[in-house]
Amino acid sequence: MIDPVRARGHFPSLSRSQDGRPVLYFDNPAGTQVPQEMMDGFIHYLTNSSANVGGEFATSQETDRLIGEARAATADFLGADSPSEIVFGQNMTSLTFHFSHALARTLRPGDEIVTTRLEHDANVSPWLALVEQGIVVRWIDIHREDGTLDLETAEAAITGRTKLVAAGYASNVLGTINDVRCLGQMAHAAGALFFVDAVHYAPHGPIDVQEIECDLLVCSSYKFFGPHLGILYGRYEVLGSLPAYHVRPAGDEPPDKWETGTQSHESLAALVGTIGYLEGLSEDVGGGRRERLRCSMRNIKNYERTLSEHLIAGMRAIGGITIYGITTPEWLDRRVPTVSFLLKGVSPHDAAKSLGEQGIFSWAGNHYAIEPLRRLGIDATQRIGLVHYNTVEEIDRFLVALERIARA
């Protein structure tokens, strides 16, 4: 188990207060707080090594080494075979559009892409943009009662014309953890590539791209305690074979051919710091960085399971609340502690405002999850999301505030 008190000591922003009480950061699905190690990496680079790449002098050579270290650390975090399979960019959305444009150059009218009704729109719009060139987008449906994927519709959606299956690892609005390994096997059986959006899962559990049999995976480090930075993993053969748009000096080999222009080197230094923090949560574990990271993320997942159980049980005890997604106690391993809900007679925006005035930060809106909310027949929800620096005591304070709003 993760020791939340020890973990919280690494996050300076958690000391913030409002009206004499600590702020509760329950807004994590849109971006987590960051550890001191991340900030140290950012500042150290700008203070000591700020330079562009490829130069015959110290700071440029230090930047070259930093980029290599960032790729190696991220490869360990994701379980990639090689640092050359790691691409950096502005954010996950930009990288996904970049990939979709490259993929489109290999497709013909009538070819099919399959995605799901559970997705963040960053894993929908890049594929819908290809419809105008004759690509067909097909859908895997969800079970409305618990927000899980309907795998029977997956079997129908994935055909011999399918060229790509794109699915989220975990839903950013309902918290559902998808069986991505199963989807990957279905994609490969049809001869298609498998693309995973791991943005929302990355802070909550271990990722092993080999185990889940994906060809490509994207995430954003600011969702797992890092800087604003996008990450694309791709099997080397896939990255090498697709015709990515790039400047000629970048060359034609991955990962360089996928990275447009000068990277945010200070953000890469910050990412190394973040991964170092996560590794340090299991500093007494034997083996290398990859093993320690997997141990840390497994422990985070186990700890967050207790948070989910306490949070959902407490919310279900309050009258007038509709919780979307999995709520059955024995199934909570199939979700992360992200909960969307509605209070009867209270708009989600009003409820979020009331909580915010009490120093409890949460979100209201569609959360860029247009398809799942449309499938559920609603326009917006209120959403909270917990990570490993949150505590049971914070949940109890939230529940008291929520019950007060529900009874008002």
Whether the per-residue pLDDT at 302 is higher than 90: the answer is yes
Q: What is the pTM of this model?
A: 0.97
Q: Structure tokens of 398?
A: 């939230």
What's the CATH number where 358 sits?
3.90.1150.10
Question: Residues 329, 332, 333, 336: what is their CA dihedral angle, to the nearest 10 degrees?
Answer: -160
pLDDT attached to residue 202 = 98
Contact residues for 177 (Cβ-Cβ < 8 A; gap 6+): 169, 170, 201, 205, 333, 334, 335, 336
Interval 242-252: pLDDT, tens: 999 999 998 89
Same domain, 240 and 219: yes
Same domain, 296 and 239: no
CB 235, CB 99: distance < 8 Å: no
Which whole-number Å values give the CA distances from 282 to 205, 242, 298, 316, in the listed order? 14, 38, 10, 34
Region 140-160: what's the mean pLDDT? 97
Phi, psi (rounded to 5 degrees) for 255:
-85, -5
CA 142 to chain centre: 20
Contact residues for 82 (Cβ-Cβ < 8 A; gap 6+): 75, 236
Of the three residues 216, 248, 278, the one that is the final residue of a domain is 278
What's the CATH number where 179 sits?
3.40.640.10
Determine the Cα–Cα distance for residues 108 and 84; give it in Å rounded to an integer: 29
Res. 370 pLDDT band, cuts 50 70 90: very high
Q: Structure tokens of 14?
A: 């958690």
Interval 311-364: pLDDT, tens: 999 999 999 999 999 999 999 999 999 999 999 999 999 999 999 999 999 999
User: Is 285 a domain residue?
Assistant: no
Of the three residues 215, 246, 278, the one that is the final residue of a domain is 278
CB 73, CB 271: distance < 8 Å: yes
pLDDT attached to residue 142 = 98
pLDDT attached to residue 251 = 86
CB 337, CB 311: distance < 8 Å: yes
Name the pairing type of β-strands 112-116 and 86-89.
unpaired
pLDDT attached to residue 1 = 76
Of the three residues 278, 311, 330, the one that is the final residue of a domain is 278
Average pLDDT over all residues of the chain: 97
Same domain, 125 and 153: yes
Q: Structure tokens of 152?
A: 């029977």
pLDDT attached to residue 283 = 85
Name the pairing type of β-strands 338-343 and 381-385.
antiparallel
Percent above pLDDT 90 for the chain: 96
Same domain, 63 and 183: yes
pLDDT attached to residue 33 = 98
User: Is 239 a domain residue?
Assistant: yes
Picking from 269, 284, 234, 272, the residue whose alpha carbon sits closest to that of residue 254 is: 234
User: How many helices (DSSP H) and strands (DSSP E) are in the chain?
Assistant: 13, 17
Whether the per-residue pLDDT at 115 is higher than 80: the answer is yes
pLDDT attached to residue 193 = 98
Picking from 353, 390, 348, the residue whose alpha carbon sits closest to that of residue 365 is: 348
Region 21-50: what's the mean pLDDT? 98
Same domain, 208 and 296: no
Determine the Cα–Cα distance for residues 332 and 247; give it in Å rounded to an integer: 47
Same domain, 13 and 162: no
pLDDT attached to residue 372 = 98
- First vs last C-alpha separation in the chain: 38
pLDDT attached to residue 176 = 98
- Enclosing domain of residue 71: 41-278
- Tally the domains of the chain: 2
Q: Structure tokens of 406?
A: 């529900």
Determine the Cα–Cα distance for residues 345 and 320; give it in Å rounded to an integer: 8
Interval 167-211: pLDDT, tens: 999 999 999 999 999 999 999 999 999 999 999 999 999 999 999
Which ranges constitute the DSSP H helices of 107-159? 125-128, 151-157
Cβ burial of 285 (10 Å; 0-12, 13-18, 19+) is middle
Determine the Cα–Cα distance for residues 112 and 9; give it in Å rounded to an integer: 49
